[in-house]
Amino acid sequence: MTEAAFGFKDVMFLSLKIAEVMFGVGLHIFQPLVIIFCFGLIAILSAFFGLGVVQPMDYMIFRVPWLVLTMFQAINISFNYVLCIVTGPGNPPFKEAIESGDVKINTDSTVKIKICKKCHRIKPERCHHCSLCKKCVYRMDHHCPWIATCVGHYNYPYFYKFLFHSWLGCGVAFVMAAPRMLGLWGLDRGGPAGVSYLTSLLALCGAIFLAVSFLLLWHTYLLCTNQTTLEFYDNKTDYHGLQANGHFTPNPYHLGWWKKNVEQAFGPGSFVQLLVKLIFPMRIRPAGDGIVWDKRTIMKAVQVKRT
Ligand SMILES: [Zn+2]
Ligand SMILES: [Zn+2]
């Protein structure tokens, strides 16, 4: 009776469980290695570009500003990378903590809060359950293997800044070092060894620059329209149905022109304050607590009658 009960379904279930455990163990070993690899890459590229192996000019007068600029960029990239990991995306509290009154949440009492069946945390709007982190994540964008956690509400500004400064650093390094590689303006290429250094560094920088360009462009669009990667696909699916019913946009978090949307991720501020937050390595607190969101009513498109 018992032997017969242990059938094909149980074998499949057991195999899936074993695969899940092995995947989890692999992930725990693999993810720290990825983080070490990223730090190594930042350090190597900064050292080569900043400390003289690849200098844009031969004149001493350019060397100090170049070194300062490279170090500033290396600190900026590392700062945002570390903050992205240690800050984390933010996770909602367990329902028991709210029921017992240990945790108080600031929400409208008329709104019924959903509870996640998988992790038993509350699940406010824009929150999603990550199967790799095994918990719900505020304003989840995606799970990022490069930081071994999710990108969500609290670490999104650091993630965006990390992309921006990696893109800027690699772009500037490429543009400044390429003339030396081409032997323009009588710049010394440092013999065959120098040429092979230059080739590998420029190839690496060019590849990172190109890959990050697409990602940065994509996240600039998402940032300026106040939507996450997950929401973008949902909105895209909803778009045709809503448009057919005469609605203007399926995204209720789109608060208007870009600035109000950017302020949701970078916190409130003037244009100059937002620019300072983007350029300098500093702590950033996004607007809101990840539970309650500013929304606009989904507007009906105005039908203009042509006469
Ligand atoms: Zn969950
Ligand atoms: Zn995750």
User: What is the pLDDT tens value at each position of the chain, 307 positions in all?
Assistant: 445 566 777 777 777 777 777 776 776 777 777 777 777 777 777 766 665 555 555 566 677 777 788 888 888 888 999 999 999 999 998 877 777 766 666 666 556 778 899 999 988 888 999 988 889 999 999 998 888 889 999 999 999 999 999 898 888 877 777 777 776 666 666 666 667 777 877 888 888 889 899 999 999 999 999 999 988 887 776 555 555 555 555 778 888 778 889 999 999 989 999 999 999 999 999 988 888 888 776 544 433 333 3
Determine the distance separating the centroid of ligand 2 and the alpha carbon of 143, expressed in angstroms: 4
pLDDT of residue 146: 85
CA 212 vs. chain centroid, Å, equals 11
pLDDT of residue 215: 92
Is the whole model's pTM more than 0.85, yes or no?
no
Determine the distance separating the centroid of ligand 2 and the alpha carbon of 59, expressed in angstroms: 48
Task: Confirm if 113 and 124 have CB atoms less than 8 A apart.
Answer: yes
Determine the distance separating the centroid of ligand 2 and the alpha carbon of 142, expressed in angstroms: 7
In this structure, what token pair is assigned to residue 203?
A: 């190839």
Give the catalytic positions in this structure.
144
Closest ligand (CA of 129): 1
Task: Confirm if 207 and 199 have CB atoms less than 8 A apart.
Answer: no
Spell out the long-range contacts of 26-31 with Cβ–Cβ below 8 A and sequence spacing 24 or more. Answer: 27/132, 30/145, 31/145, 31/148
Tell me the torsion sign for CA atoms 13, 19, 22, 28.
negative
pLDDT of residue 297: 60
pLDDT of residue 303: 37
Between helices 156-181 and 258-266, what is the axis angle to 10°? 100
> How many angstroms separate the Cα of 39 from the Cα of each of 30, 43, 164, 201?
15, 6, 17, 16
List 142's β-bridge partners, or say none: 151
Task: Confirm if 230 and 242 have CB atoms less than 8 A apart.
Answer: no
Determine the distance separating the centroid of ligand 2 and the alpha carbon of 247, expressed in angstroms: 33
In this structure, what token pair is assigned to residue 116?
A: 């996640």
Task: Confirm if 257 and 152 have CB atoms less than 8 A apart.
Answer: no
Q: How far apart are CA 297 and CA 95, in angstroms?
A: 29
Cα angle 152, 82, 164 (rounded to 5 degrees) comes to: 70
Closest ligand (CA of 140): 2
pLDDT of residue 300: 45
SS3 222: helix
Closest ligand (CA of 128): 1
pLDDT of residue 307: 34
Determine the distance separating the centroid of ligand 1 and the alpha carbon of 121, expressed in angstroms: 6
Task: Confirm if 82 and 146 have CB atoms less than 8 A apart.
Answer: no
Closest ligand (CA of 135): 1
SS3 138: coil
Task: Confirm if 176 and 202 have CB atoms less than 8 A apart.
Answer: no
In this structure, what token pair is assigned to residue 228?
A: 């996450």
Determine the distance separating the centroid of ligand 2 and the alpha carbon of 236, expressed in angstroms: 23
AA letter at 144 = C
Determine the distance separating the centroid of ligand 1 and the alpha carbon of 232, expressed in angstroms: 20
